[in-house]
């Protein structure tokens, strides 16, 4: 009879797999996953290791959802399977570290679904189990994710604190340069939110230069996007267009999930430049792209831009959708911009109503909301 592989040996391989996932090393992660799948068939029974495998498979698919969306499995179905396995085990049988991963990864999933209240609840449960995590790199990864969601919730100083905690660890390891750059993206996003635009610009220029020393094309696209977005807030639309165009070219080539976001932002730039022909072309591309990956929020925001700047039609239904998703920072920004535009073209009644909508969103944003940069490290 063939001897079973000790579960401890497989667990070591699982840790190696997770390390490649954290670093967004898709090819290496896929290779190790295939090896582990074969070893599981010969492993001695260990429900915790099997659950750990399922969690990492889920985390693997979260990575693919952003970087290679065409290759990603249905992550909602994957989560349902994990929850079913978890229910089959008594809580006392589940390792606390596995519990940490469950709540951490579930929080990441909810974050990607833009269910921010659920995501922060999951992260807070995971944070209580952080004492069971011995790996400093993993703790830094968790702090980064907290900085990311607090940025999106407009809790800027809390976000900066967690980003700094993560950054200290990432900077201490030469192999974690890419993670360091993601922290700079979050820091710059917070600087923009607090209207420190020149500081944000310097942070993002430094991040772009550091990105060029890596071989990560997705990271380079994000660096260009964020820098272009910062120029947008500075009303430097030519520079904004240049960098966002560069990011879009990469996102298209890579078939990235961020293509629709880049098309939306580039359309916004063109509208500011009063290039309505190009804006309409980008709108059509953006609608197609957002529908391919079911990115409803960006489809709605593309429609808002078209209705405001080109059609001059009602955006009530679109803003209602954004409100239903809790996207109040987007509502605030777009409503103020629309109000100013309508005021400029003499549609005063519509302008007043949009200013009211913006003020309502602004008050809600003091308690939490969504950001606009691309900090996302998977």
Looking at residues 222-244, what average pLDDT do you find? 97
Of the listed ranges 1-5, 220-224, 313-317, 368-372, the one predicted with least confidence? 368-372
Checking if the pLDDT of 374 tops 80, the result is no
pTM (predicted TM-score) = 0.84
Which residues, at least 6 apart from 318, have a Cβ–Cβ distance to it below 8 Å? Answer: 300, 301, 303, 304, 307
Q: Would you state the pLDDT for residue 46?
A: 84
**Domain-located, residue 129:** yes
**Domain-located, residue 153:** no
**Domain-located, residue 372:** no
Mean pLDDT of all residues belonging to the chain: 89
Q: Would you state the pLDDT for residue 75?
A: 75
Q: Would you state the pLDDT for residue 114?
A: 78
**CB-based burial label for 22 (10 Å; 0-12, 13-18, 19+):** buried
Of the listed ranges 20-29, 296-305, 320-329, 364-373, the one predicted with least confidence? 364-373
pLDDT confidence bin for 369, thresholds 50/70/90: very low
| CATH number of the domain enclosing 100 | 1.25.40.10
Each residue's pLDDT tens digit, 25-66: 889 999 999 999 988 888 888 888 888 899 999 999 898 887
pLDDT confidence bin for 364, thresholds 50/70/90: confident
Which residues, at least 6 apart from 46, have a Cβ–Cβ distance to it below 8 Å? Answer: 7, 10
**Domain-located, residue 149:** no
**Domain-located, residue 210:** no
Q: Would you state the pLDDT for residue 140?
A: 96
Each residue's pLDDT tens digit, 63-98: 888 777 666 566 777 787 788 777 765 555 568 888
DSSP 70: T
* Chain centre to alpha carbon of residue 16: 24
The domain total for the chain is 1
Each residue's pLDDT tens digit, 171-220: 998 889 999 999 999 999 999 989 999 999 999 999 999 999 998 999 99
* Domain with 122 in it: 7-142+231-365
CA dist., res. 126 & res. 234, Å (int)? 38
Looking at residues 242-261, what average pLDDT do you find? 94
**Domain-located, residue 128:** yes
CA dist., res. 25 & res. 23, Å (int)? 5
H or E segment to which residue 261 belongs? helix 259-272
CA dist., res. 266 & res. 290, Å (int)? 14
Q: Would you state the pLDDT for residue 376?
A: 52
Provide the token pair at 101.
Answer: 């991963």
**Domain-located, residue 211:** no
**Domain-located, residue 214:** no
């Amino acid at each position: 009879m063939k001897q079973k592989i000790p579960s401890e040996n497989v667990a070591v391989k699982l840790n190696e797999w997770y390390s490649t996932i954290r670093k967004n090393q898709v090819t290496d992660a896929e290779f190790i996953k295939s090896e582990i799948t074969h070893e599981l068939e010969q492993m001695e029974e260990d429900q915790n290791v099997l659950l750990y495998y399922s969690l990492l498979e889920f985390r693997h698919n979260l990575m693919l959802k952003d970087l290679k969306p065409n290759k990603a499995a249905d992550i909602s179905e994957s989560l349902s399977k994990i929850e079913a396995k978890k229910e089959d085990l008594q809580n006392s049988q589940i390792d606390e570290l596995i519990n940490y991963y469950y709540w951490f990864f579930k929080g990441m999933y909810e974050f990607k679904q833009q269910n921010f209240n659920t995501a922060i609840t999951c992260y807070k449960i995971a944070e209580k189990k952080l004492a069971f995590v011995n790996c400093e790199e993993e703790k830094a990864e968790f702090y980064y994710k907290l900085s990311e969601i607090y940025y999106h919730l407009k809790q800027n100083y809390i976000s900066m604190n967690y980003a700094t905690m993560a950054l200290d660890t990432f900077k201490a390891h030469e192999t974690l340069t890419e993670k360091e750059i993601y922290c700079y993206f979050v820091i710059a996003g917070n600087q923009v939110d607090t209207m420190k635009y020149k500081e944000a610009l310097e942070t993002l220029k430094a991040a772009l230069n550091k990105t060029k020393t890596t071989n990560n094309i997705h990271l380079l696209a994000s660096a260009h996007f964020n820098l272009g977005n910062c120029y947008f807030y500075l009303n430097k639309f030519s520079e904004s267009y240049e960098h966002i165009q560069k990011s879009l070219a990469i996102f298209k080539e890579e078939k990235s999930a961020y293509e629709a976001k880049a098309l939306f932002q580039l359309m916004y730039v063109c509208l500011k430049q009063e290039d309505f022909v190009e804006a309409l072309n980008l709108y059509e591309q953006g609608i197609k792209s957002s529908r391919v990956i079911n990115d409803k929020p960006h489809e709605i925001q593309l429609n808002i831009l078209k209705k405001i700047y080109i059609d001059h039609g009602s955006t009530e239904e679109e803003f209602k959708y954004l409100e239903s998703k809790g996207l109040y920072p987007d509502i605030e920004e777009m409503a103020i911009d629309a109000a100013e535009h309508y005021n400029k073209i003499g549609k005063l009644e519509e302008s007043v109503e949009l200013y009211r909508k913006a003020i309502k969103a602004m008050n809600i944003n003091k308690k939490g909301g969504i950001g606009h940069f691309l900090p996302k490290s998977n």
